[in-house]
Amino acid sequence: MKTWIPALFSILTLFGASTASAAPQELDHVVAIVNNGVVLQTDIDTAMKTVQANAGDKGQPLPTADVLKEQVLEKLILDEIQLQEAKRMGIQIDDQRLDQAIQGIAKEHDQSLDQLIVSLKNEGLTYPVFREQIRKEMAISEARNAQVRRRVNISPSEVETLSTLLAEKTTATVEYKVAQIQLRFGDDKDATEKQAQELVSRLKQGEDFSTLAYTYSKGPKALQGGDWGWMRKEEMPTIFADQITTQGKGAIIGPFRSGVGFHIMMIEDVKGLETVAVTEVNAQHILIKPSIILSDEGAKEELNGFIDEIKSGKRTFGQLAQQYSQDAGSAVANGVLGFQTADTFVPEFKHQVETLPVGQISQPFKTVHGWHIVKVLDRRTVDRTESAMKNRAYQILFKRKFNEEAGAWLQEIRASAYVEIVEDQNGQSNNDKG
């Protein structure tokens, strides 16, 4: 038997729904009352059957039937409580989202929908029951995420600390070719700092690092243009190593202060560092929104008129954007959007800014916001290694804390729920109220 049940859903809950299409059986009675809901014997039987089948496929041993039944019942009780919470929050999973999720499950297991239905039948489960259980699972997941996310607090210092640890691991075997400019303190330390800041500004404007090092540096490598050669972090002076996290080739670091003065470092080259680089685009656009008065065709014609004016030199793109663009945020800046990654835009706009040559104006095109013309002003490649590392650190911390808080939340809602076991293994009733 093929184990097709997706990891996304708990084995114990995936098929915990009552087989509503089956004929009533003697054992189909209420096993537990959970607030204003119930767990039926058929719920338990179906879940038990599924767990046993999947354990058999994987060769996994199971506890005794009584112990397994107890585990299954507790899980179904928790699911019922969470489903009630989802209903209280007004969470509803429409058919379109449900269909997409089921298609995803089939795709994950290299099956078509028809093949998935056959697999369900082979497991003794009906598609309608499966479909509604997936709907329940999605609602439960949304409720749990909404309730637990608000309990997760991650401070910037936690992200910074973990990011630094991750960076140290990542850069442990990396080699850097570094150069330094060192300015010694004079009588006026503020003046020394100001000079260091001016040198950094000049470097960022493209001046040659080694030339400035020959001219201004008072460090031990001044007569080598500040060149310290290739080193791993562990081989560097501590003051250098402490400044390097995940910066890539060409990074200017500083000025930073030591006991003798101010330092400016440049990473001239790197060996063995995996970097994350993204392309940013600076674009300028004009947005015209269709209305009851202005049709789609009218908006398009208006933009074509703007293109003619720009090409003839009558008016500039910026002048027209400032006067006519209905994107208030960019209109005040002559339609300029500033450097952004293309992924921040809607698909149609993203396609234009990715494919247009710099300086060329697009033909009018439509997005969900209205009709646009766009001009790409510039593109640049930006090193995002450090921000990617911080994002990775945040995701690790979030997952860790989310799992901790999810467990605590489940304990709280279980303790506060009214649960009555109608009949236990000894034929006696039992109830508990958190």
State residue 66's pLDDT score.
Answer: 85
Q: Which of 271, 293, 323 is a domain's end point?
A: 271
Q: Are 167 and 178 members of one domain? A: no
Q: Which helix (H) or strand (E) holds 315?
A: none
State residue 8's pLDDT score.
Answer: 37
Q: Are 203 and 309 members of one domain? A: no
Q: Are 195 and 114 members of one domain? A: no
186 CB-near residues (< 8 Å, 6+ apart): 192
Which residue has better confidence, 25 or 226?
Answer: 226
State residue 264's pLDDT score.
Answer: 94
Residue 432 lies in a domain: no
Does position 321 have pLDDT exceeding 80, yes or no? yes
Q: Which of 240, 271, 302 is a domain's end point?
A: 271
Which residue has better confidence, 95 or 125?
Answer: 95
The mean predicted confidence, pLDDT, of the chain is 84
User: What average pLDDT score do residues 108-126 get?
Assistant: 84
State residue 365's pLDDT score.
Answer: 94
State residue 63's pLDDT score.
Answer: 84
Cα separation, 131 vs 137, whole angstroms: 10
Residue 429 lies in a domain: no
User: What average pLDDT score do residues 253-275 get?
Assistant: 87
Q: Are 20 and 146 members of one domain? A: yes
State residue 336's pLDDT score.
Answer: 95
The domain in which residue 135 lies consists of 11-150
Residue 434 lies in a domain: no
Q: Are 222 and 281 members of one domain? A: no
By the 8 A CB rule, do 152 and 402 touch? yes
Cα separation, 79 vs 13, whole angstroms: 7
Q: Is 76 exposed, middle or buried (0-12, 13-18, 19+ CB in 10 A)?
A: buried
Cα separation, 180 vs 189, whole angstroms: 19
State residue 84's pLDDT score.
Answer: 93
State residue 433's pLDDT score.
Answer: 52
pLDDT digits (tens, 9 = 90+) for 385-410: 778 788 888 988 998 899 889 989 99
Going by pLDDT thresholds of 50, 70 and 90, the confidence category of residue 172 is low
Q: Are 106 and 30 members of one domain? A: yes
Residue 6 lies in a domain: no
Does position 201 have pLDDT exceeding 70, yes or no? yes
Cα separation, 343 vs 369, whole angstroms: 16
Q: Are 230 and 342 members of one domain? A: no
User: What average pLDDT score do residues 274-300 get?
Assistant: 89
Residue 253 lies in a domain: yes
Going by pLDDT thresholds of 50, 70 and 90, the confidence category of residue 133 is confident
Tell me the pairing of strands 227-232 and 175-184. Answer: antiparallel
Cα separation, 210 vs 223, whole angstroms: 9
User: What average pLDDT score do residues 85-90 get?
Assistant: 90
Q: Are 160 and 40 members of one domain? A: no
Read off the amino acid at residue 65: A
Residue 331 lies in a domain: yes
Q: What is the CATH number of the domain that holds 181?
A: 3.10.50.40
Q: Which of 271, 294, 313 is a domain's end point?
A: 271
Q: Are 164 and 213 members of one domain? A: no
By the 8 A CB rule, do 353 and 376 touch? yes
Q: Are 38 and 65 members of one domain? A: yes
State residue 353's pLDDT score.
Answer: 93
Per mean pLDDT, which range of 117-126, 323-332, 336-345 is the poorest? 117-126
User: What average pLDDT score do residues 30-59 get?
Assistant: 82
State residue 295's pLDDT score.
Answer: 93
By the 8 A CB rule, do 429 and 422 touch? yes
Does position 23 have pLDDT exceeding 50, yes or no? no
Going by pLDDT thresholds of 50, 70 and 90, the confidence category of residue 430 is low
User: What average pLDDT score do residues 195-216 get?
Assistant: 92
Which residue has better confidence, 210 or 167?
Answer: 210
Q: Are 296 and 357 members of one domain? A: yes
CA angle 223, 226, 229 (to 5 degrees): 110
The encoded tokens of residue 1 equal 């038997």
Per mean pLDDT, which range of 140-149, 304-313, 421-430 is the poorest? 421-430
Note the pTM of the prediction, 2 decimals: 0.52
Q: Are 229 and 283 members of one domain? A: no
State residue 265's pLDDT score.
Answer: 94
By the 8 A CB rule, do 113 and 102 touch? yes
Does position 60 have pLDDT exceeding 90, yes or no? no
State residue 48's pLDDT score.
Answer: 81
Q: What is the CATH number of the domain that holds 45?
A: 1.10.4030.10
Does position 291 have pLDDT exceeding 60, yes or no? yes
Fill in the DSSP letter of residue 409: H
User: What average pLDDT score do residues 256-267 get?
Assistant: 91
Instruction: Give the torsion through C-alpha atoms of 201, 206, 210, 212, to 10 deg.
Output: -40
Total domain count, the chain? 4
Residue 75 lies in a domain: yes
Q: Which of 366, 383, 349, 379 is nearest to 273 (CA)?
A: 383
Residue 430 lies in a domain: no
